[in-house]
Amino acid sequence: MYIEENNDFESHIKNIKKNEYVKNFDTKQRIAVINKVSESLKKLSIKKKDPEILEVCKFFSECTEKYIKWFKLKSNFNHPRGIIYHVPSSNISLMPLYSWLPSFITGNSNLIRLSTHSKSDKFREIISLIDTILGPKEEVRQIFFEDKKDNINSYKASLACKIRILWGHSETIKNIKKTQLSNCSLDIAFQTRYSASLIQCNEFLKMDANKLKKLAKSLINDSLNLSFNACSSPHIIYFIGKKNEYTKVKNLLLSILKSDKSKSNSDLGIVTTENIFKIQNDLITKKRKNTFKNLIFGRPIIDVLSSEFVGLDLNILKNTSLFVNFSSINELKSCWRSEIQTLTYMENTDESILENMRNDLQGRGPDRFVPIGNALKFDIIWDGINFFETLTRASVINV
């Protein structure tokens, strides 16, 4: 249900609290409903020629498959938590749907705040489609609401919920926790994170032209689909190898990336320009003497020494990308930054390297290891949190 900002939100809160644990659908029915929603969204994406909607459809299908597997493995009976309040980040327009689905499929009631940057007409159409499939009894438990001015509706949602899911920048989350009082039992907060790609220079130099083009295309897909808005897009590329190997690999990779003449702007493809020095002072501190000569993914590239990477302010990643050369995996691990959420890797990467990194880095991350080209795939486990587990509570009978 779509609730406008000037609507009587109080009455909707009372209604959702009254129906908080109503079971309109059993597990099989919820899965069937989501499959119907996914089919309808797919038709809408084709009609609108909207690839973002199509990506949501893929996630819906993957989510239902993973829920079925998770449900079969459960030895305990799991109940829904009740009312879940979502504050999706504004950097991805359809983020409210990604946040909503795992909560709905586990049986919860949901209050989802829509960002002021959301395209209301687009959301109205999508939510209307979902409501039609959910039916009148269930749609009142699934509320997408506006709150553009004074956060009154958000304040009421915070007081009504059992769990809050807070997406976005660390400062945004800190402000919500400070200004919106809540009786909820749990805050799930996804703070400012960045991601990286791992390229082993010796393996890169063994690849033939076709494999190199495929790798470059995968890097572009990870980086450009959402124009680096997603925290899982690779903002940094770690190159493992000797300095001379790194120089060869970097130059070769840049030449392949720039050879794509079919793309012409920063949102859709590769850009090169002679004018990038004019923006240098806006992106890096005056103390740095580095200059950059390349602009790919619509962003300037800065070469960073491994020795200075540890203390670097990663806020520069909002506007630029980094190339960092490490002599070995061990050197990379010694300089690891806990802000890195996703690490993408080449298809010929030895699995033992990834396992050793995961074991040695432990809680410092990364939370996700995925092949290059799959960085933007949303999953039910995000930043180490399993939504199915967190959004349900186990019920155990010990006899």
Contact 32, 135 (CB under 8 A): no
Residues 106, 244: one domain? no
Tokens representing residue 91 in the block: 């950097």
- Report the C-alpha dihedral over residues 73, 78, 84, 90, rounded to 10 degrees: 0
In a domain, 95, yes or no: yes
Pairing verdict, β 83-87 and 163-167: parallel
| Phi and psi at residue 164, to the nearest 5° | -110, 135
Residues 172, 253: one domain? no
What single-letter amino acid sits at 326?
F
In a domain, 377, yes or no: no
* CATH code of residue 73: 3.40.605.10
Rounded CA separation 380/383 (Å): 10
| 3-state class (DSSP) for residue 180 | coil
* CATH code of residue 223: 3.40.309.10
Residues 13, 83: one domain? yes
In a domain, 378, yes or no: no
Residues 153, 258: one domain? no
| 3-state class (DSSP) for residue 239 | strand
Number of structural domains, the chain? 2
Residues 246, 171: one domain? no
Residues 364, 225: one domain? yes
Residues 118, 92: one domain? yes
Mutual orientation of helices 243-258 and 209-224 as an angle, nearest 10°? 70
Residues 155, 298: one domain? no
Residues 312, 245: one domain? yes
Residues 227, 215: one domain? yes
Contact 258, 272 (CB under 8 A): yes
Residues 124, 253: one domain? no
Q: Which residues form the domain of 45? A: 2-192+383-395
Residues 35, 124: one domain? yes
Taken in order 302, 304, 310, 313, is the CA torsion positive or negative? negative
pLDDT in tens, the chain (399 residues): 998 877 888 899 999 999 888 888 988 999 999 999 999 999 999 998 888 888 889 889 989 999 999 988 877 788 999 999 999 887 778 889 999 999 999 999 999 999 877 778 889 999 999 999 999 999 999 999 988 777 888 888 898 999 999 987 777 788 888 878 888 888 888 877 888 999 999 999 999 988 988 888 888 777 754 555 567 778 889 999 999 999 999 988 888 877 754 343 333 333 333 333 334 444 444 444 444 555 555 667 888 888 888 888 888 787 778 899 999 999 999 999 888 888 999 988 888 998 998 899 888 878 889 898 887 777 788 778 889 999 998 887 776
Rounded CA separation 27/312 (Å): 48
